[in-house]
């Protein structure tokens, strides 16, 4: 089984206690671990895969809290870094439909420094880039592009999730697209929401968007469609794979559970070529990943709601 290196942010989500209230009126908050790449790392290890988290927290009690959670979930944290800068904090409220409203106080996550000792470990393994705040500059963006270069030169399987957040990129969409393009061009797997696929390609229709993305270079495209399931596209076929029916209470982490479950299954494969040839196998992988995403929506929080292998097989 290959290792999956998940690079990017790990932060505290202070989640408003009164569901359905917005942040300006919320009074009580619960401390939770957050950050898309960290969620993906946990999703993989909860499914008995091998994940390594590469990111930075503050040298403070909140940083310890976060690393402990990853360790409890059996994520390898030996490559995680600590900084003098305080751990990144986000304040989140969840509305009646399970959708999130949030503000950030960015701290240690952007301090991640490039570590050349990782390069050799990328060989024959997988690297997942969950962009989110990484494109906003600082050491993290620099480290990101160097790790990306290493992944390319070491023939790693590269996975990319742009994790677009409108509030972070308002009026700077062009810059976001420009920063994402090199990753999209070289990734084997690209995970997009409908909004991201449209934004990044400038195409409204998914047939056109997928054709554009394949021409750019991505071999496997998945466009997550919430309760409608996932659009799966390769150069050979394109189809929507339905999800299972659930009653969602909080959609946080569904996308991370989905991509984590895909990566775990791909990590058990020897060759990308064989995988790409097999429509049946890819369909099964996405179908299972849909189930992982769906299960995650049935509980509050991200990491604690991620399914175990037993739940997924049930
Ligand atoms: P995020 O907002 O976490 O970045 P995303 O928008 O990429 O995530 P979603 O489309 O919300 O992800 O969910 C990922 C996958 O989980 C979907 O493709 C689907 O298979 C499954 N899923 C999500 N919500 C539901 C739901 N309400 N019912 C059934 N399946 C769901």
For the Cβ of 227 lying below 6 angstroms from any atom of ligand 1, the answer is yes
pLDDT in tens, 297-311: 998 878 999 999 999
Query: Residue 21 has what pLDDT?
Result: 66
CATH class of the structural domain 3-307: alpha beta
- Mean pLDDT lowest among 44-48, 177-181, 232-236, 272-276: 272-276
Residue in 219, 221, 202 with CA at minimum distance from that of residue 210 = 221
Interval between CA 255 and ligand 1 midpoint (Å): 5
CA dist., res. 215 & res. 94, Å (int): 37
For the Cβ of 294 lying below 6 angstroms from any atom of ligand 1, the answer is yes
- Ligand 1, atom 20: closest residue by C-alpha: 290
Q: Given the CA of residue 224, which atom of ligand 1 is nearest to it?
A: 18
For the Cβ of 251 lying below 6 angstroms from any atom of ligand 1, the answer is yes
Q: Count other C-beta atoms under 10 Å from residue 64's C-beta.
A: 14
Return the domain boundaries, the chain: 3-307
Interval between CA 142 and ligand 1 midpoint (Å): 30
- Ligand 1, atom 29: closest residue by C-alpha: 227
* Mean pLDDT, the chain, integer: 92
For the Cβ of 190 lying below 6 angstroms from any atom of ligand 1, the answer is no
Contact 23, 75 (CB under 8 A): no
Query: Residue 166 has what pLDDT?
Result: 84
pLDDT in tens, 9-55: 999 999 888 766 688 888 899 999 999 999 999 999 999 999 999 99
Element holding 36 (H helix, E strand): helix 36-46
Q: Given the CA of residue 226, which atom of ligand 1 is nearest to it?
A: 10
CA dist., res. 300 & res. 152, Å (int): 37
Question: Once rounded to an integer, what is the mean pLDDT over residues 244-255?
Answer: 91
Question: Once rounded to an integer, what is the mean pLDDT over residues 210-237?
Answer: 96
**Between residues 70 and 94, the one the model is more confident about:** 70
Contact 127, 262 (CB under 8 A): no
CA dist., res. 21 & res. 83, Å (int): 34
Element holding 34 (H helix, E strand): strand 29-34
pLDDT in tens, 256-310: 999 999 999 999 998 888 888 889 999 999 999 999 999 999 988 789 999 999 9
Interval between CA 152 and ligand 1 midpoint (Å): 29
Percent with pLDDT over 90 in the chain: 76
Decide if pLDDT at 98 tops 70: no
Element holding 98 (H helix, E strand): none
- Ligand 1, atom 23: closest residue by C-alpha: 226
For the Cβ of 254 lying below 6 angstroms from any atom of ligand 1, the answer is yes
pLDDT in tens, 133-152: 777 777 888 899 999 999 99
Q: Which of 190, 243, 295 to mutate for ligand 1's pocket (most ligand atoms within 8 Å of CB)?
A: 243
- Ligand 1, atom 11: closest residue by C-alpha: 226
């Amino acid at each position: 089984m290959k290792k999956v290196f998940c690079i990017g942010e790990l932060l505290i989500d202070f989640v408003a206690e009164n569901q359905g209230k917005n942040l300006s009126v919320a009074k009580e908050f619960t401390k939770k671990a957050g950050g898309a790449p960290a969620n993906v790392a946990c999703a993989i290890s909860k499914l008995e895969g091998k994940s390594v988290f590469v990111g930075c927290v503050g040298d403070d009690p909140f940083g310890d809290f976060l690393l402990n959670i990853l360790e409890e979930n059996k994520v390898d944290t030996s490559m995680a870094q600590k900084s003098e800068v305080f751990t990144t904090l986000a304040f989140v409220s969840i509305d009646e439909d399970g959708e999130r409203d949030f503000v950030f106080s960015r701290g240690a996550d952007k301090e991640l420094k490039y570590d050349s000792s990782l390069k050799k470990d990328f060989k024959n393994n997988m690297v997942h880039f969950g962009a989110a705040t990484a494109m906003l500059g600082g050491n993290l963006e620099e480290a990101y592009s160097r790790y990306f270069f290493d992944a390319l030169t070491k023939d790693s399987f590269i996975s990319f999730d742009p994790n677009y957040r409108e509030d972070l990129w308002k009026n700077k969409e062009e810059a976001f697209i420009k920063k994402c393009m090199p990753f999209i061009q070289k990734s084997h797997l690209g995970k997009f929401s409908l909004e991201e696929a449209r934004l990044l390609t400038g195409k409204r229709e998914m047939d056109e968007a997928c054709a554009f993305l394949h021409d750019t270079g991505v071999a496997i495209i998945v466009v997550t469609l919430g309760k409608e399931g996932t659009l799966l596209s390769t150069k050979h076929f394109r189809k929507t794979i339905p999800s299972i029916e659930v009653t969602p209470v909080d959609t946080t982490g569904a996308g991370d559970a989905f991509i984590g479950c895909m990566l775990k299954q791909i990590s058990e494969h020897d060759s990308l070529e064989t995988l790409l040839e097999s429509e049946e196998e890819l369909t099964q992988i996405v179908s299972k990943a849909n189930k992982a995403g769906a299960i995650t929506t049935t509980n509050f929080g991200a990491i604690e709601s991620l399914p175990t292998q037993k739940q997924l097989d049930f």
